Structures are given as structure tokens and as C-alpha cells.
Amino acid sequence: MEIMSSIGAWQIILLLLVILIPGLMFLSLFKLSKSALPSDRKIIWTIIILLFPFFGATAYLLVGHNSAVE
């Protein structure tokens, strides 16, 4: 119980970010690898996701994944 009382809110947020960002990257790269997009678009999305992990992965899941269906 003493350990839990020493954990602050910022530490919980930091821990969630450490789990959330790699998880989002993995999910978006996995969905990208299974998508029907042409290879050049896959390369562009991969670069965006790797350069801007949170925003790139979120953008692909919101925008890019929908364009793969067309």
C-alpha cells in the first residue's frame, strides 16, 4: 500500500503514454501491412508513423485506414 501512495498522477499518465504510444504504433503498422494500399502509399504512411509516432499512428487509423477501403 505504501508504494501506491507514492505514485503521483503524472507518473500514471507517463506510464499510460509509455504503453499507449508503442501500442498505437504497433496497431497502425500492423493494419497498414494488411491494407490494400499501393506500396508507395504504404511507405509514406510508414515514414509518417515512425517520425511522428502518436500523431502519425492516430492519423493513419482515422484517415489512412478509411482510404484503404476504397
Kindly report, residue by residue over 20-51, the tens digit of the pLDDT. 889 999 999 999 999 988 999 999 999 999 99
> 45 near 60, Cβ under 8 Å?
yes
Q: What per-residue confidence (pLDDT) applies to 51?
A: 96
Q: What per-residue confidence (pLDDT) applies to 70?
A: 46
All three cell numbers of 9 = 498522477
All three cell numbers of 59 = 492519423
Domain housing 45: 2-69
Distance, CA of 13 to CA of 24 (rounded, Å): 16
Give the length of the chain: 70
Number of domains the chain is built from: 1
Quickly state the pLDDT bin for 13 (edges 50, 70, 90): confident
Residue bearing the bigger pLDDT, 29 or 16: 29
Q: What per-residue confidence (pLDDT) applies to 3?
A: 57
